[in-house]
Amino acid sequence: MKRVHRALVTATTTLAVMAASAAALATPEDADRAGLQQRLDDVVATGAVGALVEVRDEHGVWRGTSAVAERGTTRAVPVHGHFRVGSITKTFVATVALQLVGEGRLRLDDTVEAWLPGAVPNGDRITVRQLLNHTSGLYDFKRTLPMPPDPEFMDNRWRTWTAAEQVRRAVANPPSFDPPGSDYAYSNTGYLLLGQIVEEVTGRSYGEEIERRVIRPLRLRDTSLPGTSPRIRGPHPHGYVPIEQDGRTRLVDYTEMNPSVMGAGGEITSTTRDLNRFIAALLGGRLLPGHLLDEMKTPGVGGRKYGLGLAWQDTSCGVRVYGNDGDALAYQSWSFSTQDRRRQVTVALTPDFRADPDDVVDALLDKAFCD
């Protein structure tokens, strides 16, 4: 699910962060790596319980961590830690959908109505392309739910959701705009529908198709779709959300939760290594032919930096990087690569919601891509 922590910042309290500790696979004398470590420490100092990063460039692979894996302990963030990737899941789903397009089994101009009759109002006017690039206008399901710091948020922690009921909740609300394709509005609902369409086309769930088409061929051994399983497998930092309790806002451990609420919009768990490998394979043409990768890089609305499940941004030195970012509330992540794949960065953090970390994460990305 896309980053939503900006709305939470004002509801938090001054929650202390443990003194930073770092682990990096690099020589201490390496000034560039020391600079990266400092930027990672800045991320934690701004608003995180802990953070980890993997940078791949002409000097090799560098992995660093900062601060702690769990509040109230001195346990360092595991350098190969697993985390919930949030909306980076959408890039996996989009890749599978575009593979089906390449096989002639699905078309970008197919309508929702053609594959999921009656699923959404005016489904005959909404296309697969518009679901992928967030120009469908469909109301975002996530906005129908209580969110932190509302205590009611915790009522849904263990609930199992189906895509069909999520979509029904969404379409009970008017569209963000009309007609479809005329504007951009980020909507997790579109990706819930894409997950259902993948199942209609293939006879298998989107999770099975991601496993079969992406995870196994790329040997992403630390990437999984947990479905309804609440646990994060493998070593991992704990994640937290701010919740109002007894008149105060406290960070509550939200590491374990039922990820079906995110579904095809954000359920995947992974590692910095696996995400770097996935983005490199995607940009390198291992997963899609060139013309479909070009489609992925084409925005649905002029001026936007989001195509078909793929985002991009321009660094301070003018280098354009491609990938995506994600917010699973208790975990936030960014995974980007240069077009030539010579430099890649994946960073993940467990926010403490004292402040928005976007600017300091951008500074880390600039350091990795520009220096």
The total number of residues written for the chain in this structure: 371
Q: Are 144 and 173 in contact (CB under 8 A)?
A: yes
Name residue 347's beta-bridge partners: 53, 334
Q: CA separation (Å) from 148 to 6, 153, 242, 252, 330?
A: 11, 6, 6, 10, 11
Please provide residue 208's backbone torsions phi and psi, each rounded to the nearest 5 degrees: -65, -40
Q: Which of 21, 66, 87, 333 is labelled catalytic? A: 87
Looking up tokens 């100092």 gives: 45
Measuring CA to CA, which residue among 184, 160, 171, 176 is closest to residue 116?
A: 171
Strand spans (E) along the chain: 22-24, 48-57, 60-67, 83-84, 240-245, 248-253, 269-270, 311-314, 320-327, 332-338, 344-351
Q: Are 213 and 59 in contact (CB under 8 A)?
A: no
Residue 313 DSSP SS3: strand
87 is catalytic: yes
Residue 68 DSSP SS3: strand
Helices (H) and strands (E) counted in the chain, each on its own, are 11, 11
Please provide residue 253's backbone torsions phi and psi, each rounded to the nearest 5 degrees: -65, 120
Q: Which residues are catalytic, by number?
A: 87
